[in-house]
Every structure is written in C-alpha cells, then in structure tokens.
A and B are shown apart, each in its own frame.
Chain A
C-alpha cells in the first residue's frame, strides 16, 4: 500500500501533462470547429480505397 505515496503523485503528474496538451490544443484552434471534425474521417477513408 505504500506504493500509493508514489503512484498518486505520478497520476497527478500525468493529469497535469494531459491538461497542458489540451490547453495548448485549444489555443492552437484545434477545437474551433466542433461540427465538422467528427465526420471528416468518413471522407478520407473512401479516398484511400480508390
């Protein structure tokens, strides 16, 4: 159980890194268009088949 003293802070570190990437992505306009990106994959897929 002592491992918790190490694991909980490590988990915290990961969360902080994840959030950092998230904030960076928002600032780089990655979340500008929430309507379209979900469907983009449909189009690219078919083109590869050709």
Chain B
C-alpha cells in the first residue's frame, strides 16, 4: 500500500491532511475522520489482526447512507413485517442479514468477532460467498437496531434479508452439483488405480481371473459416476433432442453412454476392452469446468433483495413526519425528502426549494434548481434542502419504471451470440452418428464378429472429449484472469464477443469522467490557504460541491449558514466569508467587478465583504486513464464513440471531438438504445456505462460493461462489471479475450485433427481399443494444459 493512501480504506489521503493513529507500533494516516474512528475502534476492541490478514482495503465509510439501513430495521418492527424476516425460537430470534461493505475473509472474521461479543447476541455466522449473515439474538437483552449500529461503527452495513424460492433453488442445485462432482472425483481416482494395474498387467502378464476382478471393481466405481454424476449431461441431451437444437451435451452423452454400455457388455461376455477409466475421467473434468463457471457467475450477482416493505419514506401526515414503508404509499401523499436522499417516487414539489442531481436519468452532472410546483422524478437525488413532494406516480407508473420497461424490450431484442462449440456440435453429432452407423453396416458384411467392436472404437476415437473441453477450460481460465484485472463476467458469451468487438461506445458522466466536481483552477497565488478556507466553509455540507473540497481541518469556521442555490457563509477568525455563485457574492461584496464565468463549469467566488479573494472553477474531471485508453483503442483499430445524455457543449468542455469516431450528445435513454441498435455491426459493439439512463442500451447491446459504482439496475443488466472502475482494463480485457480465442482455436484444431487422423484408422479396424482410450486421455490433457497458458 502506498504511504499516501488511507490505512483503512485505501483512498488517497488529501495533501496537507494529517490524521494519524498508531497501529501495531506504526504510525499510519487516514483520509478522513470516519476511517480513523473505525480503525481506532477496531484497535480498541483488540481486533487489529484484521489489518494483517485482509487481502483488500475496506470501503470508504463516507459513501454509505447509514440512515437508510437504520430505517430498514425500524420498519422491520412492524407487526406484519416482523414474522416475514424473523424466526422466533423461545427467547431466541433468528434473522438473515445481508452485509454490505465486506471485501475479504478478514472482514467476515471482524464482524463475527465484534457482533458476537455484544451482550445478548447468541451467535453471528457469516457466509462470505453470498454476503449473508445469520444472527441469533435475544431481544430482551439487546435491540436489533443497536446491533446494526455497532456494525456501522466498524464500517459495515446490515440489512434484513428474506430468501425467496429462487435462492433455495440455487442452493439446492449447488449442493447437488458439489455432491456429483465429489462422487465423480473419487470414482475417477478408484477407477484409475484399477486401470493402471490393468495396463501394467497387459504388459507384464496377469492372470485372467485377477484382470476380471479389477474390471469388476472399476465397473462398481464407475457406475454411480455415469448414472448419477453424469445425469445433467443426459438430461440436457434429452432436451436437445426435443428441441432439435443440438449442443455439445448430445455428443458428450453419446460418448459417455456408449463407452459405458459397451464396457459393461465386454465385462459380461468377457471379451473386448473396458473404457471405465476414460468415461469417469471425462465426466469429472467436464463437471469441474461447469462447476467453476457457475460459481464465477453467481458470485458476481449481488443479493438484489426485493424487500419493498423495508424501503422507507418520511410521510407527512397532519404536519407530523412519520417513517412509513414505501410499499404502502398512495397517490397524493405528501412525503418529505432530506438532502442526500434519492427520491422514492415521481412527484411535484409542494414545499421548499433545492437542487436536484438528475445525472442518473440525463447524464447531466450539474444539479438542476427546483422549487414549488416543479416536477421531480424517482431515482434522482435531492441535494440542498429538505423538500416536501406530493406523490404523482408510484411503482410501475414512475419514469424510472418506464426505463425498466424499455430495458425489458431492449433485452428481448438483444442479438444472440452463438458460442462456437455449440455451432460445431450441431454438425459434429450428425457426422459422428452417420459414420458410426456406416462403419457398423460396412463391417457387418466384411466380418460380422468385429463389426460391433469397430463401431465402438470409432465412437471412442471420435468421442468429443478434447473437443468439448477445448472451449470451457479456456473460458474458465480467462474468466478467472479477468477477475484479477477487476472485470467480472456475468454472462457466458462475453469473452467471445469481447474478442470479436470492433466498436466501443462510452457513456460520459461517471464512465469516462469521475462524475463529481473537482477543482479545475483557483485564481490566487496562495491556493492552499484558499482550499483550507473553502473546506472549512463547506464542512458539514453534503452538496456535491462540498466533496470537491476535502476536509483539511486546518481552519475552523463558525456560524455556518447554507443558502440554497447560492452558497455558504461562515466566520473565520472574526472575519465573515462567503463562498458561492455570482448571484450570492455580487450584491454583498463591495469590491465586485465583472468576472468572467466559465461556460459548462461551475464558477464559485470566495469573498469577504470588502474583497473578492478568489475565483474557483469546478468541473467534472476525466478519469486519469481515459485519454490514453481511448488513444490505445483507436490505435488498435477500434471505432470509439461517445454516447451521452449531456449537452454537446458540456461534453466538449472535458473531451475533444477529434478523439472519437462518433460524438453523439443530447440523447435520451431511448435515443441511446436506438442509436446502438441501428448500428450495422451491433454484434461487434460494446457499450460501457453506469447510470440509469444507460440501462436500456446496456441491456440491448450485444455486450455491455457497467462500472463498479453503477446504479444497481445498470449492474443487473450488464454482461460484465468493471469493479476496478479503471477503464484501461477494458483494453487489457480485449487483448486477453483475443488470446483466449486463439487458444480455443488451437484447442479445437488439435482436437479436430486428432479425431480426423484417428477416425480412418479406427474405421479400418487398426486401432486397438486400449490405445484409443489412452489417446483420448492424452489429447484431453493437452487441451487443458494449453488453456492454463492464459493464466500467466
């Protein structure tokens, strides 16, 4: 870790800031007091080995909205809701909680230790794989709200969780595939031992009775593997037959089934070769590949709880604020929204005036001023002042829900990317079956005795082991490698479509830029002193502007007053200061003379009553890697487009039009999707975005990547998540995907040519069955080893 990064959360420490503590006899620094408080608390509880064992930094505590979590627990106490979540067993109450903010197993340990030590908590067990905790507590000794608070104090956030049918299904399926995999693994090892003895017996000579014993042993061990472990393949093959669309499951099933049946036949008539070893090994490797692939996919899908009864709003009834479940809201209710909260429904402002951050809907990052009578939209964020709104639309009627519907439509029109292996499988099956039947037919006339065994060796030789392993092993390795880069894949086709991609469309706000204000220029020589004054004035404000001035705490301001839509005012060392826009300063400061205002940026003035001290320009800033990534992509021959809902002028203020092949601005969410779907090369297009306004295009694009900080909806509809938020990863990922594609092709080529060479020989009856089995194993191994090159 860099010494300039926060010890707790790993964010960079603002310059000139000195918040330090001693941990393990070492002085460490923090980016904010929140992080310091957590670290001190952890140390005080004697839990500091957390810092030694963790593999990733914690999340920054200032990003979380603690109130929302606390409200969920308050609503939980409602009589109707409580039994849905809590199971009561005498004095002990049991609940499932989803845990936010966990990054590694050290986190899980820390929470368990800390919560279990509370008086009244019977047990706390955390499952890291699905970020769920099981809490058993005694409500007569401790309130669940206090348990939540004490988790907050170490930087984690709890929320009641209710599992639905889908969850139980998934857990059952996972258990059953672990059992299948375990049985296949153990069965394979046992059969291999017998097989080695049998092969050694073939060379050195072994009495027939012992050979028969070993054959019977391998029959006993391989039977459960074929009948139980391999059943998913057989079921899928049956489905293929019904739908007439052949996938790799069909040749796999035919291979496993016939090799097994003929081995059993050979065993009973005591003539011919047994293939139990090949069958079990093949089954095991295929199951393992599928298990890993499934695991990677599920891990990336977070617990999207649909517990509407626990999302809260503040309802104003008879002028009394009341915590109320969102699901029970009706039209024309008056609700109150505090600064920093996102609006729960569409509505009209009836009291107060404020700025609303609509970037999630429009991409416009400058907040929009709204006052009484103005329409506001669900999923936008209130910034300045508490407002009261009259509900005009709820649930599926809101504009955000309309975007959701648009998304569903886009999703249904999404182009399907066929996976190479399945395309091959379709023809492969037909050919193999045809050849096997022909071989049997022809040999039937030549030598009836041999006909069956030649057909079996044709099937074994053409058994698509290597062919069906070629793609999945390479994909699994590449998926794991991409996860290391910070790109998590949630849909199977992503690697293939990344490799084929030729066109990349980027959203602007939050994707190419950080999506928050940053200081661009300060017109004064002593700029550090200015920043100190500004941050003192902005202390305690949650306005996005305040975030630009990170707290440095060198100066203390008193009598802070927040003027909505204008700025802030405060007293420092006896002098009155104001920080705000032109309107705010103009009539107050006697020294006012016309100042230039930057277009598409926010110009602030810092002044005392007698003099203007500084002119500060704030703007959304490009990510540091944006420019080089766009350059790299274009140099490598990709078409790069900008697709934003923001105005052209605003886009031009941070980006150059020449850097992009297409510079598309002023787009509604629907426009964005339409623009994408009109592209001739839609199948080769990647969409990268983050906001709610990108959701339809993310869902509709053949491949979509959502930033790690995206809205939940964007994450659910994207094919991949960029957890690192570092867009240069996309370029690396494309290179890796291409390499993966090359390896898949090499694998397929090898597998196909192996089958191609061996087939005629088997047809002529030149391949003894045992060498067909060894050849099959060797070619599978080669394919697996080739794929491991990707992880280097």
* A interface residues (Cβ-Cβ under 8 A, vs B): 1, 4-5, 8, 11-12, 15, 18-19, 22-23, 26-27, 31-36, 38-40, 42-43, 46
Assembled-state Cα–Cα distance A36/B99 (Å): 15
11 intermolecular pairs with C-beta atoms under 8 Å apart: A4-B213, A8-B214, A11-B190, A22-B183, A26-B175, A36-B105, A36-B127, A36-B128, A39-B53, A39-B106, A43-B109
Across the interface, do A22 and B182 meet the contact criterion of CB distance under 8 Å? yes
Select one of B49, B129, B210 contacting A36, CB under 8 A: B129
Which B residues between 26 and 85 are near A, CB-CB below 8 angstroms?
49, 53
Assembled-state Cα–Cα distance A12/B175 (Å): 24
Q: How many whole Å from B382's CB to the nearest CB in chain A?
A: 38
Across the interface, do B213 and A35 meet the contact criterion of CB distance under 8 Å? no
Q: Does B220 contact A (CB under 8 A)?
A: yes
Select one of B105, B128, B130, B217 contacting A8, CB under 8 A: B217
Residues on A with C-beta less than 8 A from B175 are: 26-27, 31
Across the interface, do A26 and B105 meet the contact criterion of CB distance under 8 Å? no
Across the interface, do B210 and A4 meet the contact criterion of CB distance under 8 Å? yes
Residues on B with C-beta less than 8 A from A15 are: 186, 190, 221
Residues on B with C-beta less than 8 A from A12 are: 190, 217, 220-221
Assembled-state Cα–Cα distance A2/B237 (Å): 44
Which B residues between 98 and 150 are near A, CB-CB below 8 angstroms?
105-106, 108-109, 126-130
Across the interface, do B105 and A40 meet the contact criterion of CB distance under 8 Å? yes
Across the interface, do B128 and A19 meet the contact criterion of CB distance under 8 Å? no
Across the interface, do B108 and A5 meet the contact criterion of CB distance under 8 Å? no
Across the interface, do A19 and B213 meet the contact criterion of CB distance under 8 Å? no
Assembled-state Cα–Cα distance A43/B46 (Å): 13
Assembled-state Cα–Cα distance A12/B129 (Å): 34
Across the interface, do B53 and A35 meet the contact criterion of CB distance under 8 Å? no
Assembled-state Cα–Cα distance A4/B53 (Å): 50
Which B residues between 168 and 210 are near A, CB-CB below 8 angstroms?
171, 175, 178-179, 182-183, 186, 190, 207, 210
Assembled-state Cα–Cα distance A41/B127 (Å): 16
Select one of B127, B210, B214, B220 contacting A32, CB under 8 A: B127
Across the interface, do B182 and A33 meet the contact criterion of CB distance under 8 Å? no
Q: How many whole Å from A26's CB to the nearest CB in chain B?
A: 5
Assembled-state Cα–Cα distance A27/B178 (Å): 10
Q: How many whole Å from A30's CB to the nearest CB in chain B?
A: 10
Nearest residue (CB) in B for A22 is B182
Nearest residue (CB) in A for B108 is A36
For chain B, the bracket of interface size reads 20 to 34
Nearest residue (CB) in A for B46 is A50
Nearest residue (CB) in B for A31 is B178
Across the interface, do B183 and A19 meet the contact criterion of CB distance under 8 Å? yes
Question: If A12-B217, A39-B105, A43-B53 touch, does A23 touch B179 (CB 8 Å cutoff)?
Answer: yes
Residues on A with C-beta less than 8 A from B213 are: 4-5, 8
Across the interface, do A35 and B128 meet the contact criterion of CB distance under 8 Å? yes
Assembled-state Cα–Cα distance A27/B130 (Å): 17
Residues on A with C-beta less than 8 A from B183 are: 19, 22-23
Across the interface, do B210 and A26 meet the contact criterion of CB distance under 8 Å? no
Assembled-state Cα–Cα distance A7/B171 (Å): 38
Across the interface, do B221 and A34 meet the contact criterion of CB distance under 8 Å? no
Assembled-state Cα–Cα distance A19/B221 (Å): 11
Select one of A1, A23, A34, A39 contacting B210, CB under 8 A: A1
Assembled-state Cα–Cα distance A31/B174 (Å): 10
Q: How many whole Å from B91's CB to the nearest CB in chain A?
A: 24
Residues on A with C-beta less than 8 A from B217 are: 8, 11-12
Q: How many whole Å from A37's CB to the nearest CB in chain B?
A: 9
Residues on B with C-beta less than 8 A from A31 are: 175, 178
Residues on B with C-beta less than 8 A from A18 are: 186
Across the interface, do A35 and B220 meet the contact criterion of CB distance under 8 Å? no
Q: How many whole Å from A24's CB to the nearest CB in chain B?
A: 10
Residues on B with C-beta less than 8 A from A32 are: 127, 129, 171
Residues on A with C-beta less than 8 A from B126 are: 36
Across the interface, do A35 and B221 meet the contact criterion of CB distance under 8 Å? no
Q: How many whole Å from B299's CB to the nearest CB in chain A?
A: 8
Across the interface, do B127 and A40 meet the contact criterion of CB distance under 8 Å? no
Assembled-state Cα–Cα distance A36/B54 (Å): 12
Q: How many whole Å from B515's CB to the nearest CB in chain A?
A: 31
Residues on B with C-beta less than 8 A from A27 are: 175
Residues on A with C-beta less than 8 A from B53 are: 39, 42-43
Residues on A with C-beta less than 8 A from B207 are: 1
Q: How many whole Å from A12's CB to the nearest CB in chain B?
A: 6
Assembled-state Cα–Cα distance A49/B282 (Å): 47
Residues on A with C-beta less than 8 A from B109 are: 40, 43
Residues on A with C-beta less than 8 A from B179 are: 22-23, 26
